[in-house]
Amino acid sequence: MAENQRKAFRIRYKEKDMPVLEIKDKKYPLIDISVIGLKLWGSNDFYEFQSLEGKIQLHTGELNFKGTVIRVNKNSDCIAIEINPELSLGKLYLERNYLKEKGYKI
């Protein structure tokens, strides 16, 4: 695998189209999503190895998730979450198709 390739299919969002991740009644904009991970804004609210669960409100429906914070970047104010169990690939494909219809180049 090339160095810049990802292990899983990933959707990156434009700022105006970012879906919302909800954890304990707080909402965070979602930068990108894959079946095995998420990246979101809000590093001040999280710490590495923190266990999380919540809901992701995509444009095409809602997904529940459980995961662990694997990276906190205070400089860019973003965190990475490893998802376990994996999210539904089928639901991510629906989201991708919706975005393609809006003109995304995926």
| Confidence tier at 2 by pLDDT (50, 70, 90) | very low
Q: Give Cα separations from 23 to 66, 81, 104 (angstroms).
A: 10, 12, 27
pTM over 0.85: yes
Q: Name the DSSP class of 16.
A: G
pLDDT of residue 6: 54
pLDDT in tens, 32-79: 999 999 999 988 899 999 999 999 999 999 999 999 999 999 888 899
Domains for the chain: give ranges and CATH numbers: 10-101 (2.40.10.430)
Helix H or strand E encompassing 100: helix 89-101
- Separation between Cα atoms, residue 80 and residue 60, nearest integer Å: 22
